[in-house]
Amino acid sequence: MRRRVVITGMGTVNPLGHDVETTWHAMLAGRSAISKNELFDASTYPTTFAAQVKGYDLAAQVPNAARHAHAGRHCKFALGAARQAWLQSGLDRFDRLDPTRLGVYLGSGEGSLDDINFTYMLAHAWKDGRCDTAKWAELGYKLLNVFREVEQESNMVVAHLAAEYGARGPAINVLTACAASTQAIGEAAMLIRENDVEAVISGGAHSMIHLFGVMGFNRLTALSQRNDEYQSASRPFDLTRDGFVLGEGASVLILEEYEHARKRGAKILAEIIGYGASADAFRITDQDPEGDGAATSMRLALADAKVSPADIHYISAHGTGTKQNDQVETRAVKAVFGDLAKKVPMSSIKSMCGHLIAAAGATELITCILAIRDQILPPTTNLSTPDPGCDLDYIPNAARKARVETCMSNNFGFGGQNNTLIITRGS
């Protein structure tokens, strides 16, 4: 008998809200969290806006915020999200969890560079068209903070959560770009299924709304440049879409072995029944135009879940709002779902909260859980001009009541790593 994996807690800090319910209400209302970039002066960038987490106070979320004072911005989001999830799971009131059987498996991004000092150093340690590394060293030791530097390693969010909850089991971080937290949750579920652990703190965190993050995506021409209509700039599946909108945040879920959760009387929010992973093996700059890799990931997840396309009531799309992704994704869904493709509702919450990169998948999985709980589907906002290449039911512009028992969530990373999760109502 295969060990079953259930979700007993969830938490989120994202541009739409600093907790699950606020976020959900905003989504169902179709609100946009996009505004002018206030995190740095991007006024001359090709893209001047982003979906930012505003007014976030770590001390309001965790009892010992001082312990994490040096943590990166994304790590502070993760600490809040994890606390919400942990309290909801009830594991804080359960004293028989063996710490060596508690894992942490995240898809967290790197921490932000110390932009101000880094650019100062490059400007002042420059000689004859090259970096004067001796001068660079001198300035570095004077200006940089050791904690801020170490916190950029992407395993540090795992370290903070392990410290907070005393985890001594497997502790892993993966960074497969936009697919990271979906992959993390999938592999975390496998750790439970394969009997390595009883519970895992899983999810993702990321913030790339900084000088080099926005620059990097702007250079790739991946971001929307709709500076005059920024609130509606994230337009997945719309003909006039011109790129994604960068967001930031963290979402964390508590995964637990079914019997373990049942015996301690935990409320089961959902069950993870399927996980699929594949690679395009195509190009670092483009997706496979046929969407074969994405389709493979979905098929593997369906097979793993032992369900058929007809059993899927909702697809949480990757839906970035780039020209390429949305067409390829549509093609891939058609390949897998056949005649059913046009009947399965699919939406992209990135239209409202932007693209949380490594944290996107975990956030989207939470909306799937809520869709099952409340029997309502979040919309794809800003979808007013249909694209002939995107002709599925994307739940345009308004949330919709529906029967929802089983959901599929897709994420496709830059570079061709594809991941799919399937969840169903907990029983």
Partner 1 sequence: MSDRRVAVTGIGVVSPIGIGIETFWKALLGGAKSVGPITQFDASGFPCRIAAQLSDFSARDYVPKDYRKAVKVMARDIEIAVATAEMAFRDSGLATRSTDEQKMQIRPKRLGCNIGAGLICSDLNELGAAINTSLTDGEFDMKIWGKSGMNNLTPLWLLKYLPNMLSCHVTIIHGCEGPSNCITCGDASAPLAVGEAGRYITRDMADAAAAGGAESKLNPMGMVRQSMLGRLCITGDADPANACRPFDRRHAGTVIGEGGGVLIIEEMKPAAGRGAKIYAEMAGHGGSCDPAGIDVLKPNAGGLGQAVKNAMRNAGVGPEDVDLIVAHGTGVPGEDAAESAQWFEALGGSAGKIPAVALTGAIGSLFAGSCGVGMAAALMAMKDGVVPPTANFEKPADDCGLNLSGKTRQADIRCAVCASFTVGGQSGACVFKKVP
**Stretch 210-269 residues interacting with partner 1 (CB under 8 A):** 211, 215-221
Among 189, 300, 305, 336, binds partner 1 (CB under 8 A): 300
Select 220 or 310, whichever has its Cβ closest to partner 1.
220
Active-site position among 178, 353, 368, 390: 178
The number of residues that bind partner 1 (CB under 8 A) is 91
Our CB check for partner 1 shows the closer of 124 and 342 to be 124
Give, in degrees to the nearest 5, the angle at Cα 208 between 204 and 210. Answer: 150
**Residue 274 makes contact with partner 1 by CB under 8 A:** no
- Pick between residue 217 and residue 394 the one whose CB is nearest to partner 1: 217
Distance CA 342, CA 333 (A): 9
Q: Note if 25 is an active site residue.
A: no
- Determine which residue in the list 38, 59, 120, 397 makes contact with partner 1, applying CB under 8 A: 120
Q: x-or-dash pattern for partner 1, window 158-197, by CB under 8 A?
A: xxx-xx-xxxxxxxxxxxxx-----x---x--x---xxx-
Q: Which of 29, 279, 307, 335 binds partner 1 (CB under 8 A)?
A: 279
What distance in Å separates the CA atoms of residue 310 and residue 132, rounded to the nearest whole number?
62
Minimum separation from the CB atom of position 283 to partner 1 (A): 7
Rounded to an integer, what distance in angstroms lies between the CA atom of residue 216 and that of residue 204?
A: 21
Which residue out of 260, 355, 390, 407 is catalytically annotated?
355
Q: Give, as ranges, the residues between 92 and 111 that touch partner 1 (CB under 8 A).
A: 100, 103-104, 110
Nearest to 42 by CA among 166, 213, 241: 213
User: Is 153 an interacting residue with respect to partner 1 (CB under 8 A)?
Assistant: yes
Residue 129 binds to partner 1 (criterion: CB under 8 A): yes
Look up residue 139 and give its amino acid: L
Measured distance CA(265)–CA(256) in Å, rounded: 12
Q: How many CA atoms lie within 13 A of 40 on its CB side?
A: 18
Closest distance between partner 1 and the C-beta of residue 413, in Å?
Answer: 6
- What is the distance between the alpha carbons of residues 42 and 39, in angstroms, rounded to a whole number? 8
Phi, psi of 15 (to 5 degrees): -60, -20
What is the secondary structure of 294-327 as a DSSP string?
HHHHHHHHHHHHT--GGG--EEE------HHHHH
Is 355 marked active-site? yes
Single out the catalytic residue among 206, 318, 353, 390. 318
Place of tokens 């719309």: 238
Sites for partner 1 among residues 39-58 (CB under 8 A):
40-46
Residues taking part in catalysis: 178, 318, 355
